[in-house]
């Protein structure tokens, strides 16, 4: 492993009150470009660097993941294209809310398989179109990336299009390898493209106004679905998903006991602020390991006491479930009782 390491001793300050580099060490005689080391040393002497304790700069072959917003918020290294350009073997990078990194360095990271461009305003199609190894891309609130690059990313398996207004059906329908898609608050993608993505296993339709039962019912491989505040999807499609292991029905009034009672493979159900699902279906879901009953008025001790496989239960702000209901849940490892009244 080749690396350049700079250590800072927090017990010593210089005369100006700035942190000082106390020592540095190299392993295996590494030669980091002088200009990059200079940037690090220059930054380390700035007065505002009060959390700077140590930073490892891994040379090429060892660093595979970088989260630039951590570097910024912790006051470690000012992220810039010069520094990023040395990490040519990166496979994952998070650039959300980042406006320092540009296409000039990203275009060099052709080994990337995962990139987060949530609220990113600097990265454009010119670099993304070169990252053909990408399997996971987050374009939530992203206004720069368009169909011209996305249509080339045929290896994508995961895409987040929450709040995205650029990507449309014509682009998504080409991504036949997609297994996970986030369409929360998305009004551009319609049933046309979703009906073609039959390999999907996970879909988020929170606040989605377009996608209906007609396309969802074709996604027979689904194992997880998020219907937070969804007013479109109904029991007619949900009842078909007997392989579902995870369903979120927060603030959902469409889905009822008639479909939930058929989902015997469910391991995780979120019923936060749900007023339609009752004991009659929940009591049948004996494979559940996690349930969220925050602000839930319907589910009572009668059904909860039967779910002996539960390991995680959220009862925050729940005034219905009592100690007698959870006392039999001997497998519980995690329980939330914030503002629960009677336990």
For the purposes of burial, counting CB atoms within 10 Å of the CB of 34, is it exposed (0-12), middle (13-18) or buried (19 or more)? Answer: exposed
- CA–CA separation, 318 vs 216, rounded Å? 32
Has residue 49 been placed in a domain? yes
| Res 53: pLDDT | 32
Percent of the chain clearing pLDDT 70 (strictly above): 76
Has residue 321 been placed in a domain? no
- The DSSP bridge partners found for residue 156 are none
Cα-to-chain-centroid distance, residue 76: 24
The backbone region for 277, taken as left when phi is positive above 0, alpha when psi lies in -120 to 50, beta otherwise, is: beta
Arithmetic mean of pLDDT, 298-312 = 97
Q: Report which of residues 151 and 7 the model is more confident about.
A: 151
Count structural domains, the chain: 1
Using CA of residue 268, residue 274, residue 276, residue 279, what is the dihedral sign? positive
Q: State the maximum Cα–Cα separation within the chain, in Å, rounded to a whole number.
A: 73
For residue 91, pLDDT over 80 is answered with: yes
Average pLDDT taken over every residue of the chain:
83
Weakest-pLDDT range from 26-30, 87-91, 247-251, 309-313: 26-30
Nearest to 172 by CA among 156, 227, 208: 156
User: Interior CA angle at 138 toward 133 and 144, to 5°?
Assistant: 95
Has residue 16 been placed in a domain? yes
- CA–CA separation, 92 vs 90, rounded Å? 6
Using CA of residue 106, residue 107, residue 111, residue 114, what is the dihedral sign? positive
Has residue 58 been placed in a domain? yes
Q: What is the pLDDT of residues 198-256, one digit of tens each?
A: 999 999 999 999 999 999 999 999 999 999 999 999 999 999 999 999 999 999 999 99
Arithmetic mean of pLDDT, 16-43 = 45
- CA–CA separation, 57 vs 221, rounded Å? 42
For residue 193, pLDDT over 80 is answered with: yes
| Res 250: pLDDT | 97
For residue 97, pLDDT over 90 is answered with: no
pTM over 0.75: yes
Residue with tokens 């179109």: 129
Has residue 131 been placed in a domain? no
Q: Report which of residues 48 and 317 the model is more confident about.
A: 317
The tokens for 53 are 């304790």
Residues 238 and 255: beta-carbon distance below 8 Å: yes
State the residue range of the domain holding 32. Answer: 1-62
Q: What is the pLDDT of residues 30-82, one digit of tens each?
A: 444 555 555 554 554 443 332 333 333 333 334 455 554 334 334 445 568 88
| Res 160: pLDDT | 98
Cα–Cα distances in angstroms (integers) from residue 61 to residues 17, 37, 87, 92, in the given order: 37, 18, 8, 14
Has residue 150 been placed in a domain? no
Residue with tokens 């969802």: 216
Has residue 28 been placed in a domain? yes
| Res 99: pLDDT | 86
Q: DSSP character for 133?
A: T
Has residue 22 been placed in a domain? yes
Position 288 confidence tier, pLDDT thresholds 50, 70, 90 = very high
Length of the chain: 343
């Amino acid at each position: 492993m080749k690396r350049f390491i700079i250590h800072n001793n927090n017990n010593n300050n210089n005369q100006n009150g700035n942190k000082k580099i106390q020592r540095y060490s190299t392993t295996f005689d590494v030669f980091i470009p002088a200009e990059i080391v200079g940037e690090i040393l220059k930054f380390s002497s700035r007065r505002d660097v009060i959390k700077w304790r140590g930073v490892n700069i891994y040379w090429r072959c060892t660093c595979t993941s970088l989260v630039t917003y951590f570097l910024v918020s912790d006051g470690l290294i000012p992220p810039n294209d010069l520094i990023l350009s040395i990490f040519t073997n990166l496979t994952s990078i998070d650039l959300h809310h980042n406006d320092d990194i540009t296409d000039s360095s990203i275009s060099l990271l052709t080994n990337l398989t995962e990139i987060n461009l949530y609220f990113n305003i600097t990265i454009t199609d010119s670099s993304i179109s070169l990252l053909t190894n990408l399997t996971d891309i987050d374009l939530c609130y992203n206004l720069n990336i368009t169909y011209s690059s996305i249509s080339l990313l045929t290896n994508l398996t995961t895409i987040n299009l929450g709040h995205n207004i650029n990507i449309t059906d014509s682009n998504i329908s080409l991504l036949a390898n997609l297994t996970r898609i986030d369409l929360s608050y998305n009004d551009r993608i319609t049933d046309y493209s979703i009906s073609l993505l039959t390999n999907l296993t996970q879909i988020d339709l929170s606040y989605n106004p377009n996608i209906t039962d007609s396309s969802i019912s074709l996604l027979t491989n689904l194992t997880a679905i998020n219907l937070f505040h969804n007013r479109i999807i109904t029991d007619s499609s949900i009842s078909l998903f007997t392989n579902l292991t995870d369903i979120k029905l927060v603030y959902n009034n469409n889905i009822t006991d008639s479909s939930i009672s058929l989902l015997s493979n469910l391991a995780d159900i979120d019923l936060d602020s749900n007023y339609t699902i009752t004991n009659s279906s929940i009591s049948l879901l004996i494979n559940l390991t996690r349930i969220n009953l925050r602000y839930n008025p319907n589910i009572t001790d009668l059904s909860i006491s039967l779910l002996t496989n539960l390991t995680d239960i959220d009862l925050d702000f729940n005034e219905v479930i009592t100690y007698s209901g959870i006392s039999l849940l001997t497998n519980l490892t995690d329980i939330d009782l914030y503002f629960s009244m009677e336990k």
